[in-house]
Chain A
Amino acid sequence: DAGITQSPRHKVTETGTPVTLRCHQTENHRYMYWYRQDPGHGLRLIHYSYGVKDTDKGEVSDGYSVSRSKTEDFLLTLESATSSQTSVYFCAISDWQSSYEQYFGPGTRLTVT
């Protein structure tokens, strides 16, 4: 299995509070991604990174920001959490040689009350 960890694995937070989710990889892969998974929607891309300090928006980026200061870490921040951001968040990684082949972390279940 690809070396991807996510923290925390579960979090309950209140509306309006900031939340940061962390993705850590030990594979030295260039690309990293954040997705959210919601019933009936599959997985939707929030943001992705193609290198240190190089990031871009996905299809559902509103309300989220990301940072990547090191190859191994990709942080997802909800500046002011809303109930619509209750979801399961997955991080994924891929190598530059086969960037289409992504490996997923175990997920973070976030509940915003």
Chain B
Amino acid sequence: AQSVTQLDSQVPVFEEAPVELRCNYSSSVSVYLFWYVQYPNQGLQLLLKYLSGSTLVESINGFEAEFNKSQTSFHLRKPSVHISDTAEYFCAACETSGSRLTFGEGTQLTVNP
């Protein structure tokens, strides 16, 4: 079984500032890693995923995450945030041989003007 820990429950930042949302995982087997975003009163949307290959993965709206196997981390970054990035972000892991996702507790990103 795996576990996922998001190190910050809330991250307030100003518009156009850089942001990093931290995620660590623990697993005895290989895992796939994901970031999901949840806007208010909506379901979760897949933001980006790491399956294999390049350890740096990017989303279409400027977010990126880097898989670091030695530190068992998958932190999410964006160099310049917008008001519209305000949402809750969830890190998740899945064993490569399975289909069950394990989620972290979530990080509320609030972008202030």
B98 within 8 A of partner (CB)? yes
**Interface contact B43-A107, CB-CB below 8 Å:** yes
Q: Of the candidates A42, A48, A50, which one forms a contact with B104 in the assembled complex, judged by CB atoms under 8 Å apart?
A: A42
Residue of B nearest to A4 (CB): B43
Secondary structure of the A side of the interface? strand
- Interface size range of chain B in the complex: 20 to 34
B74 within 8 A of partner (CB)? no
**Interface contact B49-A101, CB-CB below 8 Å:** yes
A74 within 8 A of partner (CB)? no
Q: Interface digits, A41-73 against B, CB 8 Å rule (1 contact, 0 not)?
A: 111110010100000001000000000000000
**Interface contact B106-A58, CB-CB below 8 Å:** no
**Interface contact A106-B42, CB-CB below 8 Å:** yes
Q: Would A40 and B46 be within 8 Å (CB), given that A94-B99, A100-B32, A100-B98 are in contact?
A: no
Q: Interface digits, B93-111 against A, CB 8 Å rule (1 contact, 0 not)?
A: 0101011110111100000
B9 within 8 A of partner (CB)? yes
A34 within 8 A of partner (CB)? no
Q: How far is the CB of B31 from chain A (nearest CB, A)?
A: 9
Q: How far is the CB of A108 from chain B (nearest CB, A)?
A: 10
B25 within 8 A of partner (CB)? no
Residue of A nearest to B105 (CB): A42
A20 within 8 A of partner (CB)? no
**Interface contact B44-A104, CB-CB below 8 Å:** yes
**Interface contact B103-A43, CB-CB below 8 Å:** yes
A15 within 8 A of partner (CB)? no
Chain B positions near chain A (C-beta within 8 angstroms): 4, 6, 9, 32, 34, 36, 42-46, 49, 90, 94, 96, 98-101, 103-106
Question: A42-B6, A92-B44, A104-B44 provided; 8 other pairs, C-beta below 8 A?
Answer: A42-B4, A90-B43, A99-B98, A100-B98, A103-B46, A106-B42, A106-B43, A107-B42
